[in-house]
């Protein structure tokens, strides 16, 4: 079926500039982009609103929030996936890499977290293949280095799963994201209700696991990324030495470096820097790490991720557009830059021949309001 869409009298966010104009979509593809204020009779008059590519999210924990809305609550998975999908669509995200943890701790009660990745991937892929989802879903495996089962869990995935990203997650306390152990204690005890004694036991168990298995698991995750053809990402690099190891692994993107030193090392190694939009919007990191705005000011921020707040992605992009005095550049951190990092050549910019993932938004006091979302040419929000 032919689906025609014309968005006219818009402020088009192109790769390097914004211009007044219109775009036309046919059969899910952008077929033309024109400048000017003309509004054809069969067009949607955007009244000067921004029209931009659909947002691309490389790392989000949002699905986990829907699956486990409270501690020890396991929400029906299909319902959770649909709610997650609908929420992302409503915020302008049209492509998402759903982050799923691989690697579990099963040997004891205090540090226990269960295996779930293969089942969750099956459920997402089945719903995607059935056409039940509004937006484009891909898989991002969060390889938990400090775990007991990572190698076995990675072996359950193959080329047929089309894994897009594998990230090296080392949450051993006292380093990376939680270099400040008191911040780790606040996070874990607040989330799981551990006593001080239980927390101390938990930390020692993690140290023991990492000492025994950490190096093997890191090597296995790198090998899995090569085997599956996935983009390999680091997570929470803190030192230049850690970035140097990332470079030797073939890592091309760094998720949430925690210090200016790490970000500088990433830049020098041509590793793309992903920072959290919530960090940018809030004005700082909830873990006490480097502020995203500080990296933006020194041109050490390439991509934004909504992390745990989907609505922060567009808000953060607009914030960067205002900070840099260049809305096209701000929006590129959530469109063309993540598309390039994930090797998605068919989307991420408004151009003839591109997939018609499009958003329309206005701004009120520098706060964006989504007014329309199209995924593959069909309206989804």
The tens digit of pLDDT for each residue in 38-79 reads: 999 999 999 999 999 999 999 999 999 999 898 788 999 999
Angle between helices 196-228 and 181-192 (to 10 degrees): 100
Give me the mean pLDDT over the 9-22 stretch: 97
Q: Is pLDDT at 189 greater than 60 in this prediction?
A: no
The tens digit of pLDDT for each residue in 83-142 reads: 999 999 999 999 999 999 999 988 866 556 789 999 999 999 999 999 999 999 999 999
Q: Which whole-number Å values give the CA distances from 49 to 56, 137, 265, 316, 351, in the listed order?
A: 20, 27, 39, 18, 18
Sign of CA dihedral 262, 268, 270, 273: positive
Q: Which is more confidently placed, 4 or 321?
A: 321
Give me the mean pLDDT over the 231-259 stretch: 96
Q: Is pLDDT at 185 greater than 90 in this prediction?
A: no
Residue 1: what pLDDT? Answer: 47
Q: Is pLDDT at 150 greater than 60 in this prediction?
A: yes
All structural domains of the chain, each given as residue ranges with its CATH number in brackets, are 54-348 (3.20.20.140)
Q: Which whole-number Å values give the CA distances from 194 to 146, 150, 176, 188, in the listed order?
A: 19, 25, 22, 7
CA–CA dist 26, 34 (Å, integer): 15
pLDDT-derived band at 162 (thresholds 50, 70, 90) equals very high
How are beta strands 303-305 and 272-276 bridged, if at all? parallel
The tens digit of pLDDT for each residue in 204-235 reads: 777 888 889 989 999 999 999 999 999 999 99
């Amino acid at each position: 079926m032919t689906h025609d869409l014309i968005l006219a009298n818009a402020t088009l966010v192109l790769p390097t500039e914004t211009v007044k104009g219109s775009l036309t979509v046919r059969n899910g593809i952008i077929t033309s982009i024109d400048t000017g204020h003309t509004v054809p009779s069969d067009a949607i008059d955007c009244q000067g609103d921004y029209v931009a590519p659909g947002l691309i999210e490389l790392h989000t924990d949002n699905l986990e929030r829907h699956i486990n809305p409270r501690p020890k609550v396991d929400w029906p998975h299909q319902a959770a996936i649909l709610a997650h999908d609908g929420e992302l669509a409503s915020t302008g995200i049209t492509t998402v890499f759903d982050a799923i943890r691989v690697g579990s701790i099963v040997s004891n009660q205090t540090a226990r977290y269960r295996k779930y990745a293969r089942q969750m991937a099956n459920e997402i892929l089945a719903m995607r293949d059935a056409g039940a989802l509004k937006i484009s879903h891909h898989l991002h495996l969060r390889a938990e280095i400090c775990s007991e089962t990572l190698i076995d869990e990675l072996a359950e995935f193959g080329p047929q799963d089309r894994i897009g990203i594998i990230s090296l997650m080392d949450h051993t306390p006292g380093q990376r994201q939680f270099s400040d152990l008191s911040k780790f204690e606040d996070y874990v005890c607040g989330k799981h209700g551990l006593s001080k004694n239980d927390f101390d036991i938990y930390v020692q168990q993690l140290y023991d696991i990492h000492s025994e298995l950490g190096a093997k698991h890191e090597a296995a995750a790198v090998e899995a990324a090569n085997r599956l053809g996935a983009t390999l990402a680091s997570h929470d690099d803190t030192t230049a030495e850690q970035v140097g190891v990332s470079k030797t692994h073939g890592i091309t993107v760094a998720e949430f470096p925690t210090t200016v030193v790490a970000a500088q090392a990433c830049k020098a190694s041509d590793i793309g820097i992903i920072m959290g939009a919530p960090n940018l919007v809030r004005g700082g990191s909830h873990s006490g790490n480097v502020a995203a705005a500080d990296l933006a000011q020194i041109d050490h921020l390439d991509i934004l991720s909504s992390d745990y707040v989907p609505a922060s992605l567009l808000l953060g992009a607009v914030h960067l557009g205002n900070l840099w005095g260049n809305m096209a550049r701000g929006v590129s951190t959530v469109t063309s830059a993540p598309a390039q990092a994930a090797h998605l050549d068919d989307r991420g910019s408004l151009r003839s021949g591109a997939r018609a993932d499009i958003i329309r938004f206005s701004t009120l006091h520098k706060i964006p309001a989504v007014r329309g979302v199209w995924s593959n040419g069909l309206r989804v929000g």
